[in-house]
Amino acid sequence: MDAFPATPQIERLIDLALEEDIGSGDVTTQALIPPNLQGEAQIRAKETLVVAGLPLAARVFYRLTREVQFSPAVQDGQEVEAGAVLAILTGPVPPILTGERVALNFLQHLSGIATFTKKMVEAVAFMPVALVDTRKTTPGWRVLEKYAVRLGGGRNHRGGLFDGVLIKNNHLIAIGSITEAVRRARKAAPHTLKIEVEVTSLAELEEALNIGADIILLDNMSDADLAKAADLTLGRALLEASGSMTLERLPQAAATRVNFISMGALTHSAPAVDIHLRLLKTWSQEVEEGG
């Protein structure tokens, strides 16, 4: 199973989300719920989904108090049916109620991405192509959203501007030619980084092949042109198809023999799934008097 990316950045994101929601205090819970009230709650799926974000949800409650016990009932990456229990929480009721929405926001969004990605991946199952994400992610959420893509069976493109050379249209406008852009990239970038070039025509593909680009991104090409590109390339570079990809189109694009299909929709358009938290029972904790 893919390891959860526990990083300081994610801890900061949790703190930001809690600060945004709680502000100066949870006035409703503070007014209604005795601080010594204990309880048990369940987080349940209300539809079929691929689970993503349980370790993150646990951290939300732990940031509020270590007294809440968060016990996962399933694992991230597991597909569950409607009604499935995802986690059981026991401990003081006030932090359970205060952290509920932030925890569910993380779970619903990330599980939505994992579920949506699985649906897209299944459309090209048993075909020699990998479905990859893009940098079109929610600011601050990239590591988490790319984690959710992996849980859904997709693969990650570069994590940022730092871990891969991708020469795009605006770079080419500034430089003037694919040949010169690749030459400069080869000279300046570490030898361990592959050079990818975005092209919009078969003529540009030929130029990128002749200069020795490692990967060529075929941007917004028709399926017919994608097939022609594969014929022209003959294995000299890896090919990535991108632009206007939908569930219906994926099998046709995969059949053109490209190596990768990238979809920004995996992260920017995946609908959140329905998950809820319900308090099942409560009891009062005896408060010891000072001696």
**Among 173, 117, 186, which Cα is nearest to 145's?**
117
Whether 198 is catalytic is yes
**Catalytic site residue from 47, 63, 101, 186:** 101
In single-letter form, the type of residue at position 254 comes to A
Whether 59 is catalytic is no
Total Cβ atoms within 10 A of residue 114:
31
CA–CA distance, 87 with 58 (Å, rounded to integer):
9
Give me 75's structure tokens: 């694992």
**Catalytic site residue from 76, 145, 198, 240:** 198
Tell me the torsion sign for CA atoms 24, 29, 34, 35.
negative
Give me 100's structure tokens: 């509920």
**Catalytic site residue from 100, 133, 204, 219:** 219
Give the SS3 label for residue 275: strand
Using only C-alpha atoms, the chain has a radius of gyration, in whole angstroms, of 24
**Catalytic site residue from 168, 180, 184, 231:** 168
Whether 163 is catalytic is no
**Among 15, 16, 22, which Cα is nearest to 94's?**
22
Give me 38's structure tokens: 């204990």
CA–CA distance, 211 with 4 (Å, rounded to integer):
39
CA dist 200 → 206, 221, 232, 240, 241 (Å): 11, 7, 15, 12, 11
Which residues carry out catalysis?
101, 136, 168, 198, 219
